[in-house]
Amino acid sequence: MLVDYHTHNELCKHADGALEEYVRHAVRIGLKEIGLADHSPMPNDWDIEVRMYEEQFWSLYKPAVLELREKYRGQIDIKFAVEGDFFPGTEEWVREFNAKNEFDYVIGSVHYLGEWGFDNPLYVGKFDHAEIDQVYLSYYDHIKRSAACGLFDIVGHCDLVKKFGHRPTKDIEEVLRETLKVVKNAGMAVEINTSGLRKPVKEVYPSETILRICSELDIPLTLGSDAHTPGDVGRDFEVAKGLVERYGKGRISLYTRRQRSEVSIA
């Protein structure tokens, strides 16, 4: 069976389509579950240009997700989730926010290194002036801390830093291994996120090097399209399936109320 655990909707201001359109597309292509995992609100309207207001979470997002879950019962299982951000200094706020909700899972993503939203096309120019190896080290240090803080269930797009095609000049396999050991100890899964195929790098997140280490460390996998438009739900999952076969023994993780289980994709 197949599921898509990483989808957005128009509330985040940089995606198209209402929640229900994502659900309908998932039903149309025969997914067993869809995870509605929009960008979580953050304290003090932090980074509000690319996410919903907290007030919208309570008045719109949460009630809509729970209502859709009932409406589509029997057709598809709908998971109530968010994509959270790891941003140092916000951990306590996020902990309290997560505790106030009955999330099925919370994706933990790193989109910021300091004030730099490095995956935002508006700020890609900063790569030209940055020391790329340092950027990679800083990125994986953030991933490590996002796992160690215990706030999240799934590592989102674990090598997002490659999005625009910038590559480290040195071999970073040991850095990756140390990072993934922390992920393993935190009991987290790593998502196979097909949106990288639609970005300049034209590769799935994460790389096969990372997936090979995940397999060696027996880290479970999840599946997500990171759809920001309804038609992208389940996009390129035939590629993702091949990776799950190769690096995850053909099994993916499912979550209910933040409890993990496993199922075969066959």
- What the block records as the tokens of 13 is 């201001």
Q: Residues with Cβ < 8 Å from 142, sequence gap 6 or more?
A: 86, 110, 113
Find the shortest distance in angstroms from Cβ 198 to Zn ion.
12
CB of 110 to Zn ion, least distance (A): 9
CA distance 230 to 128: 33
- 228 by DSSP, 3-state: which? coil
CA 197 to chain centre: 15
Q: How far is the CB of 169 from Zn ion (least distance, A)?
A: 26
Q: Tell me if 229 contacts Zn ion by CB under 5 A.
A: no
183: three-class secondary structure by DSSP: helix
Mask for 108-147, x = binds Zn ion (CB under 5 A)? -x--------------------------------------
Tell me the residue length of the chain: 266
Q: Helices 237-247 and 208-217: crossing angle, nearest 10°? A: 40
Residue 75 or 123: the one with the smaller Cβ distance to Zn ion is 123
- Hey, which bits of 86-146 come out as E strands? 105-109
Smallest distance from the beta carbon of 195 to Zn ion, in angstroms?
8
Least distance from Zn ion to the Cβ atom of residue 70, Å:
26
Residue 109 or 222 having the CB closest to Zn ion: 109
What's the rounded Cα separation, in Å, for the pair 22 and 36?
8
Nearest approach, Cβ of 8 to Zn ion (angstroms)?
A: 5
Residue number, 7 or 253, with CB nearest to Zn ion: 7
Give the CB-nearest residue to Zn ion. 109
Residue whose CB is less far from Zn ion, 21 or 133: 21
Nearer to Zn ion, 179 or 229 (CB): 229
Please, are residues 24 and 230 in contact by the beta-carbon 8 Å criterion?
yes
The residue assigned the tokens 């980074």 is: 47
Q: Pick out residues in 73-112 that bind Zn ion (CB under 5 A).
A: 109
> Would you call 73 helix, strand, or coil by DSSP?
coil
Indicate the residue among 109 and 229 with the shorter CB distance to Zn ion.
Answer: 109
Query: Total binding residues for Zn ion by CB under 5 A?
Result: 1
Residues that bind Zn ion (CB under 5 A): 109
